[in-house]
Amino acid sequence: MVLRQIKKALEKKPKFDLIELPFIDVTEDPVRPELSLEFRQAYGRKIYGIKDEEGDIAAVMCFAFTHGIPKSVEEMDKLSKDAAMQAIHRAGVQGSIAIAYTVWAKKKGGGKHMVNEVYKMIKNSNHLNRLVTLSPLTDMARNFHIKNGAKEVQVNLTTQNFEYDIELDEWEKFRDRAKGWFNIK
């Protein structure tokens, strides 16, 4: 009985699926609506969404992949272009840092779930080793990231950076050991 409950808890399916989005309506972005769709899709940048159990997009997050932490959108543009050019010589592997530069929820709680799903994706990545934000210089952005476990990296002239620790937590290490004990995949 106890083994069955442990197995069920460990095999629990996520409520959301992280998917790459081919396009979005940029006017829905409350954080950076001035950035065009072309900007969001260029030079090693990607757009992700989380699909809920009903099949609706619950939140959206845009990324740039770089080798450094930008202090502005303009610097992120340059860093992601540089990482994309370097990737040509590295079998397509672009940047080791995922820069989340905008996130918005389309449904209540979507933003928090988006951060959790992206965190898992980056943790399981072979080439990404950091998740850093390029956030507006607002209390709302600061409170959101601090509440979701990020640490403040720096405050810039017009932006602020937060970093989510992607090392395995103690409970995750225990979970992985427990899976081995009970032969759970």
Please report, for the chain, the start and end positions of each structural domain, with discontinuous segments joined by +: 2-181
Query: What pLDDT shows up at residue 9?
Result: 57
How do residues 90-123 score in pLDDT, each as one tens digit? 555 577 899 999 999 999 888 889 988 988 888 8
- Could you please report the per-residue DSSP string of 49-116? EEE-TTS-EEEEEEEEEESS--SSHHHHHHHHHHHHHHHTTTTT---SEEEEEEEEESSTTHHHHHHH
Give the pTM.
0.78
How do residues 139-170 score in pLDDT, each as one tens digit? 999 998 999 889 999 999 999 999 998 875 55
Query: What pLDDT shows up at residue 7?
Result: 59
55 backbone dihedrals φ, ψ, rounded to 5°: 90, 5
CB contact at 8 A, 100 and 66: no
- CATH fold, domain 2-181, is Aminopeptidase (3.40.630)
Query: What pLDDT shows up at residue 176?
Result: 60
Q: What is the mean pLDDT of residues 167-179?
A: 61
Q: Which residues contact 55 (CB under 8 A, 6 or more apart)?
A: none
